[in-house]
A and B are shown apart, each in its own frame.
Chain A
Amino acid sequence: MSTLFLALLLPVFGFLFSGIAGKHLPEKITGWISSLTILGSFVLSIGIFNDVANATSGIAAVGFNFLSVGDVIVDFAIQADRLTSIMMLVITGIGFLIHVYSISYMHGDPGFYKFFAYLNLFVFNMLVLVMGSNFLMLFFGWEGVGLCSYLLIGFWYENESYGKAARKAFIMNRIGDLGLLIGLFLIIANFKSLNYSEVMAAASTGAVSTEVITAICVALFVGAMGKSAQIPLYTWLPDAMAGPTPVSALIHAATMVTAGIYLVVRCNVLFELAPAAQQLILWVGLATSILAALIGLKQNDIKKVLAYSTVSQLGLMFIALGIGAYSAAMFHLITHAFFKALLFLGSGSVIHALGGEQDIRKMGGLKKAMPITYYTFLIGTLAISGMPLFSGFFSKDEILATLFAQNTLVWALTVVSALITGIYMFRVFLVTFHGGFRGTHEQEHHLHESPALITFPLIVLALLSLLGGLINLPELFTQNNAQWLKHWLNPIIGASQESLHHPEHHTEWLLMAIAVGAFVVALLYTRNKYIAKQSIPESDAEMTDLAKLSSNKFYVDELYDKAVVTPTEIIGDTLQKTDDSIFIGAIGGVNKLFGSIANGFKFIQNGKIHYYLLYMVAGIVIIMALNLFR
């Protein structure tokens, strides 16, 4: 029991330590103590994982009564079941690696201690999000990670556009959060409880009508749209790249943005009862996956490409959720956390070596100078593009195979999305690391492999990206221990996934061959374009119309600006003017009235002592006269 709380509260200790004492301590101490608290949490998570494996149902602990209104009682209660323990391992494991990475990456930054304090606070909130045993705890963590995300995107707040990016992320998340909140209210109104176990049990008895459950699911999915960056609320994630690169890796790739996936998996019982909501998830996921991949094709900022790739991959996970393949989505969540964190940290290493340069057109030929970064980035690229036997291959294949059996059209479009993924990832990889160096002479002179603290997490994550597929090998490859993750999660999602059928084995081989074919096409196409022809991405002026469209993100930001931001500003301005003329006018009028009355009497207080004495004597005389004639 107490292990749960200890695992949860260790990052809080790190947060308080870095936040309070960190300013006066050397960077090394602050950084390492923060990192060690996360490592401690990770070790405890392994223990919890072990306990959960032996327990029939999860383990739980109650802290205190959070609130009780009427007959709704919500406790500050945490739990660890099979889903949570997996999430905890991912969060604390990758969190630790990224903390270690940050010690070197953030070296010399005046806000070093602040950075670690925020990062620890983030891990705490993320743990609350996944460990809570009711929706309120989830909401608490949900808002907490949103806050940390805001603080860390705007970490270099002196830069105005970074501050704006942070605000954009926060506001777009608020829109999603409103949906989540409405979902929570609907749950309270209809289930009289916020505990997962009670809600799920009540839902499966059919006590609540399908319409209501559909409404709840859609509302919850709106929340997931915000946090997990799905159409129409995805535009904050690419802008969130304003934050330091470790933040992009931890928050905006590996953990926080997967909160929406976690939410849907956690509520799989509800979603299974709402086919309409599932359809919505499927199509939103598909549209996001393809749109983001298309945008990713023409971005020239290395982090922006990875950001759109994240949006696209999250879309892929939602596609899986839309057809009810929860374990496949979780599998892709985990492998994606590995290789996307790796890619972000790799890009951070590159940016670090080039002194802050993020434009891939000004990179090139980094292979020689940075071999470790090169090879780890290569592994990450191969994993995300679906190179056979890498982790991403297995997780994508699991989704595609299940998809094929349910909806062939979506399957075909998803394959296209995967193909585009391969193309833009190889484009970034080849343009960055191959060819000749295109930066300034000075940058070339300073090119160096990053220090061990940066390369160590890269190597670990590269191994995980390479071998991550082992946790859920398809039955095609091995008879025993196949689909370990699916079986592990069975107590939570088994009932919801029962109806899913896998295609026949020979079909599955064929599907796998098609996926590999897409990978090979992407590889050959980019190899031909960027190695054989040595072409580099064109400058903005040279682009054709389609490329321009993609490069400008399909003008979605501009559309939002015209459709939402400008009208809101106009309404705000109008209201302000009304406010000024009516309310300020009325209140100002009262003010002026009393002012003029006071002005009329001002002559009495002229500062001359004679007058004051005269008033005094006159007063005394009047009082005496009144006494006399009383």
Chain B
Amino acid sequence: MNTDSIFSSLDISHYIYLSSVLFCIGLFGVLTRRNAIVLLMCIELMLNAVNLLFVAFSSYMGDSAGQLFVFFIMVVAAAEAAVGLAIIVMIYRNVRSTDVGLFDKLKG
């Protein structure tokens, strides 16, 4: 069975609904969770929701520019995750916690 045909047979609106739902889940997680690692994961989820939308539209419009964007976003997201995790590790060593509610030392 040709996978290509399965994906193309689905209506574009399904992709939009799915990615919207994913994005909102990610956003909800970012706003409610306090664990910094979970926060990073939620951000990743939001990014991938956007990626999905890009790819869907790229296929729908027959334009490969969307897929190029996705690669860029994945690279940046990986870098961001690496840096973010490193920061979290450093913070954890200092305060023995990854609760973002405690990270308010720069408050004016």
Contacts and interface: CB of A to CB of B under 8 A. Distances in A.
B27 A608 contact: no
B103 A609 contact: yes
A493 to B, nearest CB: 77
A570 interface: no
A38 to B, nearest CB: 64
Given A617-B27, A617-B31, A610 B107 contact: no
B31 A613 contact: yes
Nearest to B103: A609
B85 to A, nearest CB: 16
A625 interface: no
Interface in A591-608: 605-608
Given A617-B27, A617-B31, A610 B101 contact: yes
Interface in A367-391: none
B106 interface: yes
A613 B34 CA distance: 12
B55 interface: no
B104 interface: yes
A279 to B, nearest CB: 75
B106 A607 contact: yes
B104 A607 contact: yes
Interface in B57-108: 100-101, 103-108
Interface of B: 27, 30-31, 34, 100-101, 103-108
Task: List 3 A-B pairs, minimum CB-CB distance, nearest first.
Answer: A607-B107, A607-B104, A609-B100
Contact of B101 (A608, A613, A614, A617): A608
A606 B101 contact: no
B104 A608 contact: yes
Interface of A: 605-610, 613-614, 617
Contacts of A606: 104, 107
A608 B103 CA distance: 7
Most interface-central of B31, B34, B105, B106 (chain A CB within 10 A): B31
Contacts of A613: 30-31
A609 B103 CA distance: 8
Contacts of A608: 100-101, 104
A610 B31 contact: yes
Contacts of B103: 609
A256 to B, nearest CB: 60
A610 B100 contact: yes
Nearest to A606: B107
A619 to B, nearest CB: 13
Contacts of A607: 104-108
B4 to A, nearest CB: 34
23 contacts: A605-B108, A606-B104, A606-B107, A607-B104, A607-B105, A607-B106, A607-B107, A607-B108, A608-B100, A608-B101, A608-B104, A609-B100, A609-B103, A609-B104, A610-B31, A610-B34, A610-B100, A610-B101, A613-B30, A613-B31, A614-B31, A617-B27, A617-B31
A598 to B, nearest CB: 11
Nearest to A614: B31
Contacts of A614: 31
Given A606-B107, A617-B27, A617-B31, 11 more contacts: A607-B104, A607-B105, A607-B106, A607-B107, A608-B104, A609-B103, A609-B104, A610-B31, A613-B30, A613-B31, A614-B31
A180 B107 CA distance: 62
Contacts of A617: 27, 31
B101 to A, nearest CB: 6
Nearest to B34: A610
Contacts of B107: 605-607
A608 B101 CA distance: 6
